[in-house]
Structure 1
Amino acid sequence: MKRTIKAMLACSAAMLGTAAAAETMTIGITQNNVGVDSYQTTYEKAFIEAADANPDVEAVVLDAGGDVARQIAQIEDLIQQEVDAIIIWPTNGEAVIPAVRKAKQAGIPVVITNSNIAEQGFDFVSSFSGPDNITQGARAAEIMCDKFKEMGTDTEAQIVQISGQPGYTTAIERAKGFEDRLPEVCPDVTLLESQPGDWNREKSQQVMEAFLVKYDDIDGVYAGDDNMGVGALNAAKAAGRAGDIIFVGATNFSVGYEAMEAGEYWGSIYQSPVDDAKAALQTAIDILGGKELPFLNYFDTPKITQDNMAEFDKPVF
């Protein structure tokens, strides 16, 4: 009888252990390019910390290093591992769609984080978690236009744009938001030219150097993030023309915040990589828990300028 009870207890313990193990969610993430800027580096750190703090989550954290083929291989590997959910920060909004379709076919929910995939892939995605990049671009246009109106130059100003990596959804959407909104609020402002800065400060500085040679009159610069915006500012400072130009960016980096404090950089859009990472992980957890979520699960990204920056903490990235 004792042996029977012991056997039953052992069996019950094994079953409980199996149930506990089954409750653990394995969530894989493949990121765009952690080394390219401090935002993505901070995002990864925050994601790992949030996953480690949750006893029900086991995270598999991967980085594509900006390589589309590598990211596709990582997604396929996560499918083979039979993870419970996959979070993707796309290297390219169109190229990853076939791999996302494979995850859907395997019954694995996919969360797209930070930068959405192309619309034709939406049917294979459970939810997008991140900023509304079109709204960010529109808000940046409003920041720039309001400043021109304050200066009385809104009827004649000429500007240039430094966008992000070509083919990258965030870059496309922020540029679209800016370009669509600017003529609505400042119809007489002329956008002279747009060139990619690839999210890189040094390349953006070179792009701005070329703009300064090509155009004698530049009144404003819109950059797809502050990392590129500060690169443009550095070029203008070296050419002795920074004081004549209004600089507006997006994703307020610490270098952008510092340039605003110095009175050299006018405004940006405030976005936290920590909030971004936590939101992506929570979205995956909620989906696995059966919660109903909106497909576009945005978090707010307000305007920040020299006038209201005291209301915001300095970014940690």
Structure 2
Amino acid sequence: MKLRTVLAATAATVAISGAVQAESYRIGITQNNVGVDSYQTTYEKAFIAAAEANPNVEVVVLDGGGDVARQIAQMEDLIQQAVDAIIIWPTNGEAVIPAVRKAHKAGIPVVVTNSNIADAGFDFVASFSGPDNITQGARSAEIMCDKFKEMGIEDEAQIVHITGQPGYTTAIERAKGFDDRLPEVCPNVTVLETQPGDWNREKSQKVMEAFLVKYDDIDGVYAGDDNMGVGALNAAKAAGRDGIIFVGATNFAVGYEAMERGEYWGSIYQSPVDDAEAALKTALDVLNGEDVPFLNYFDTPKITQDNMGDFTKPVF
């Protein structure tokens, strides 16, 4: 068995050759933005590795580069290629619906990975494979509330919220999960302001710098992932603002390391390797006629300074 990788400006094609198999499939994937953070970079590597390990699979690996128009063009190209299935990590959960519908009408099953499309597109999707982002946001709220209760400030704490990329389903769902759950567990905590950090550490640091200038009293920060959370942490450290509780989601290595140093309180543990492997398996199960749930979630538990020893350090 031999892996042949052909790289172009926007695509990599991975073909597996070997003994003739009874069933072989050509699967296309268009990702959100591989270069934006280490989670997505690790996901792509894990997806290609999973394909390499399967002699029945040939995959066309594309990257939308965070550009909706580019991703839609990639979807149309995969439809023209008549691939057996398409996996999409949407750049925008609303905007990609027409392209997903077009694939469905062409008889190509679509699996959405990591971040779901908007509800209006569900009829055109075979399955969603990824984390339950609303549950993740709710769990992050519980982590923060529990810490405030431990500190005895649950009736007076004030927090700021840094969200991911606007229009991106994961960002919307994590924010909703957090915003809905926090008042249930800590009704007297005040959310001072919410601003997007676009999954970017440097932008999130600038957002936090502005928060620190605007608000004299900030007790906590919730960020939609650890990459943004560490950006906010860096801003607070530079400003000499101690005692702020930082909680994120998707525990990056930088978040894990900050937890080890006692600077970052908690997050949600999520593996890009599990994410990638689950997406490919879901697509294959759909093609093989298996009974696949529409929402095919994998678990993402809470991780804090108290239990981090139970988890391995993230590789991304």
TM-score w.r.t. the length of structure 2 is 0.93
The residue aligned with 1:306 is: 305
Alpha-carbon distance, 1:22 to partner: 6.9
Alpha-carbon distance, 1:248 to partner: 0.1
Contact 2:223 2:248 in 1 (8 A): yes
Equivalenced residues, count: 299
Aligned-partner SS, 1:291: coil
The residue aligned with 2:270 is: 271
**Cα distance in 2 for residues equivalent to 1:293 and 1:138:** 26
Moved over 3 A (4+): 19-22
Aligned-partner SS, 2:75: helix
Q: Give 1:25's aligned amino acid.
A: Y
Aligned-partner SS, 2:309: helix
Contact 2:265 2:305 in 1 (8 A): yes
Contact 2:174 2:224 in 1 (8 A): yes
Alpha-carbon distance, 1:24 to partner: 1.4
**Cα distance in 2 for residues equivalent to 1:283 and 1:78:** 18
- Post-superposition CA distance 1:244-288 (Å, at most 9, x none): x00000000000000000000000000000000000000000000
Contact 2:21 2:56 in 1 (8 A): no
Alignment of 1:103-142 (within 5 A): 103-142=103-142
- Post-superposition CA distance 1:201-258 (Å, at most 9, x none): 0000000000000000000000000000000000000000033x00000000000000
Distance 1:92 1:199, change over 3 A: same
- Post-superposition CA distance 1:90-126 (Å, at most 9, x none): 0000000000000000000000000000000000000
Aligned-partner SS, 1:250: coil
The residue aligned with 1:190 is: 190
Alignment of 1:38-57 (within 5 A): 38-57=38-57
Aligned-partner SS, 2:48: helix
The residue aligned with 1:292 is: 291
Contact 2:133 2:174 in 1 (8 A): yes
TM-score w.r.t. the length of structure 1 is 0.93
The residue aligned with 1:6 is: none
The residue aligned with 1:94 is: 94
Unaligned runs of 5+ in 2: 1-17
- Post-superposition CA distance 1:74-99 (Å, at most 9, x none): 00000000000000000000000000
The residue aligned with 1:172 is: 172
Aligned-partner SS, 1:23: coil
Alpha-carbon distance, 1:177 to partner: 0.1
**Cα distance in 1 for residues equivalent to 2:114 and 2:242:** 31
**Cα distance in 2 for residues equivalent to 1:141 and 1:215:** 21
The residue aligned with 1:282 is: 281
Unaligned runs of 5+ in 1: 1-16
**Cα distance in 1 for residues equivalent to 2:73 and 2:194:** 33
Higher helix content, 1 or 2:
1
**Cα distance in 2 for residues equivalent to 1:182 and 1:119:** 24
Contact 2:93 2:167 in 1 (8 A): yes
Alpha-carbon distance, 1:23 to partner: 2.0
The residue aligned with 2:258 is: 259
The residue aligned with 1:207 is: 207
**Cα distance in 2 for residues equivalent to 1:208 and 1:257:** 20
Contact 1:242 1:264 in 2 (8 A): no
Alpha-carbon distance, 1:20 to partner: 4.1
The residue aligned with 2:6 is: none
Q: Give 1:302's aligned amino acid.
A: P
Does 2:217 match 1:217? Answer: yes
Aligned-partner SS, 1:149: helix
Alpha-carbon distance, 1:47 to partner: 0.1
**Cα distance in 2 for residues equivalent to 1:193 and 1:20:** 59
Contact 1:233 1:242 in 2 (8 A): no
**Cα distance in 2 for residues equivalent to 1:57 and 1:223:** 37
- Higher-Rg member (1/2): 1
The residue aligned with 1:159 is: 159
Aligned-partner SS, 1:62: strand
Q: Give 1:129's aligned amino acid.
A: S
Q: Give 1:311's aligned amino acid.
A: D
**Cα distance in 1 for residues equivalent to 2:118 and 2:22:** 34
> Taking every aligned residue pair, what percent have the same amino acid on both sides?
86
**Cα distance in 2 for residues equivalent to 1:291 and 1:112:** 17
Aligned-partner SS, 2:296: strand
Alpha-carbon distance, 1:60 to partner: 0.3
**Cα distance in 2 for residues equivalent to 1:292 and 1:20:** 26
Aligned-partner SS, 2:60: strand
